[in-house]
Amino acid sequence: MFACNRRGFLKAAIGLPAGYGLVTSLRGAELATSAGLVEVDLEAQQTWINVAGQNAYLFGFNGQVPGPTIEAHPGDHVRIRFRNSLPEMTNLHYHGLHVTPNGNGDNSFLEVGSGESLTYEFDLPTDHPGGTFWYHPHMHGFVARQVSRGLAGVFIVRGELDQIPEIAKAPEAILVLQDFALSSSGLPVEPSLMARMTGRQGNLVTANGQTNPSIGLDRDGWVRLRILNASSSRFYRLQLEDHPLYLIATDGGALPSPEQRDEILLAPGERIEVMVQGARPGGSYRLVSLPYNRGGMGMGMMGGASSGPAVLATVVYQGQAGSTWSLPQRLVNIDPLPEPSVRRSFQLGQGMGMGMGMMGGGGATFTINGRAFNPGRVDTRVVLNSVEEWDFINPTMMDHPMHVHTNPFQVVGSDGAPLRAWKDVALVPAFSRVRVRTAFRDFAGMALYHCHILDHEDFGMMGTLQIQG
């Protein structure tokens, strides 16, 4: 699966067999729309889907896993006609997009019942940053179940980074990382309470619904990888054999300059864009996920939760580039956010109690500031066009990747200054704290903040945010 550069197109790539060249070819359909308008039909359905060469009874968008890639530009009007053909209620969240949280926009409080339809509509601001975003369900109590069974798709916004010649002429590949818990017959395996409390992980790790697909790379050329962690709990500690990764974008868009990395940790919900150069002898090189321990409950009966190892894809040299070039030293300008007017603290907690998850928590509860999520309660009120600093404090033995809806943030570094990168997921490791700075711009309304280990969200580690105009 990869996305094109044409305005207002939906790339609906179907499942590709293992070894299919993601960069050099595309299978699927194109849905043309008028300039400035992106129209998409999406249906969530339970069906048999070929994943990694086996039939699995999963949840898919338009009968595929992952769902179709949506592409838009700043200033576009987006209209998504959504039908819920699942046997349970669901909805949609447009993760990372800076759009209205009201009405039929990015409103996670909406409920779409089984057999019902809803048209989502919103405008992308004319100054919306380009980047790799995504869509997935956000029906409280059902989120981990539905995402872990396949409901996820990429939403690309084209922007400044795509206009840089050295970046634009590199072929692109999208890697949607998902894991599935399947029986030998292809049926989903329900996780135990222990697995849900640590965060469920599947026994089958895939990229674009495949096991170890190939990515073509010309010698002396470059390839741009957009990588999404669409797993409900699994962390991916990424490393490419004998190749550095040149990080050019995080969750919310481009970095000021490329950053060379030997490995990159990708928590649930996070995205990165990296450039890879064909500067090695011909052959094939594995993109792997190294082991990562994200912690445990620390309650005697609960152990840690380790992610990895796994081979995700293989980069295969396939020819000689027609020309050679280097990455630019500068990408886009990112101004640091001004000093905040308000500072707040959010303490993350876990234990046994009356959990709020609709799917049955068995007494598990996860909290923010001692309270589990209640959709009828406003937890935090902020003022439109204000700047705030939030401290996420994690005294627990588990990592928690914290996601904030509607407005991206900048992580504040150890010197107290905001780092020049836009994020919407901040990993808060066990026994640590992370400070983020946010400007609440453009949109008033109700939004959410929560842990993106989705079982933790379902068990209560989520709060409501009212942006007051």
Per residue in 446-456, pLDDT (tens digit) is: 999 999 999 99
Indicate if the pLDDT at residue 298 is higher than 50.
Answer: yes
Residue 434 has pLDDT above 60, yes or no: yes
Contacts of 382 (CB under 8 A, 6+ apart): 342, 388, 440, 465, 466, 467, 468
The count of other CB atoms within 10 Å of the CB of residue 319 is: 14
- Nearest of 392, 386, 383 to residue 340 by alpha carbon: 386
C-alpha distances out from residue 273 to 48, 158, 181, 332, Å: 31, 13, 27, 14
More confident residue, 96 or 415: 96
182 pLDDT more than 70: yes
Domains of the chain: 9-163 (2.60.40.420), 165-320 (2.60.40.420), 342-468 (2.60.40.420)
Q: Which residues of 328-338 are buried (b: 16+ CB within 10 A; e: fewer)?
A: eeebbebeebe
Rounded Cα distance, 160 and 281, in Å = 33
Confidence label for 369 from pLDDT (cuts 50, 70 and 90): very high
Paired residues of 290 in beta bridges: 237
Type of residue numbered 296:
G
Q: Residue 50 corresponds to which tokens in the numbers above? A: 């070929």
Question: What's the pTM value of the predicted model, to 2 decimals?
Answer: 0.92
Q: What is the mean pLDDT of the chain?
A: 89
Is the pLDDT reported for residue 256 higher than 80? Answer: yes
pLDDT tops 80 at residue 408: yes
Long-range pairs of 349-356 with CB within 8 A, sequence gap ≥ 24: 349/395, 349/396, 350/197, 350/297, 350/396, 350/398, 350/456, 350/461, 352/299, 355/459, 355/460, 356/140, 356/141, 356/459, 356/460
φ, ψ for residue 147 (rounded to 5)? -70, -40
Dihedrals phi, psi of 139, to nearest 5 degrees: -85, 105
| Residue 25: band (very low, low, confident or very high) from pLDDT cuts 50, 70, 90 | very low
User: Do 180 and 189 form a contact (C-beta atoms < 8 A)?
Assistant: no
The residue behind tokens 């490791």 is 429
Query: Could you tell me if 385 and 337 are in contact, meaning their C-beta atoms sit under 8 angstroms apart?
Result: no
Q: What is the largest CA-CA distance in the chain?
A: 63
Q: pLDDT by residue (tens digit) across 28-65?
A: 333 435 679 999 999 999 999 999 999 999 999 999 99
The reported pLDDT for the residue numbered 363 is: 63
Overall average pLDDT of the 277-298 stretch: 91
How does residue 296 score in pLDDT terms, banded at 50, 70 and 90? confident
Percentage of the chain lying above the pLDDT 90 cut: 82
Per-residue confidence band for 112, with pLDDT thresholds at 50, 70 and 90: very high
DSSP 389: E
Residue bearing the bigger pLDDT, 216 or 361: 216
> What's the pLDDT at 351?
76
- Does residue 100 sit in helix, strand or coil? coil
Segment 109-121 mean pLDDT? 98
Token pair belonging to 457:
């969200």
Residue 27's pLDDT band, with cuts at 50, 70 and 90, is: very low
User: Which of 72-81, 107-116, 304-313 is the least confident region?
Assistant: 304-313
Q: Is pLDDT above 60 for 245?
A: yes
Look at residue 23 in the predicted model and tell me its pLDDT: 37
SS (H, E, C) 316-375: EEEEECCCCCCCCCCCCCCCCCCCCCEEEEEEEEEEECCCCCCCCCCCEEEEECCECCCC
Q: Which residue has the tokens 């995080």?
A: 250
Per-residue confidence (pLDDT) for residue 353, from 0 to 100: 55
* Banded pLDDT at 303 (limits 50, 70, 90): very low
- What's the order of all strands across the beta sheet hosting 153-157? 28-32, 9-13, 69-72, 153-157, 131-136, 93-95
Which H, E and C letters describe 157-208, residue by residue? ECCHHHHCHHHHCCCEEEEEEEEECECCCCCECCCCHHHHHHCCCCCEEEEC
Report CA Rg, the chain. 21
Q: How far is CA 424 from CA 165, 191, 448, 455, in A?
A: 27, 28, 12, 19
Residue 20 has a pLDDT of: 32
Question: What is the structure's pLDDT at 430?
Answer: 95
Smallest Cα–Cα separation from 173: which of 28, 315, 341? 315
Q: What are phi and psi of 189, to 5 degrees?
A: -100, 125
Per-residue tokens: 301? 């009966």
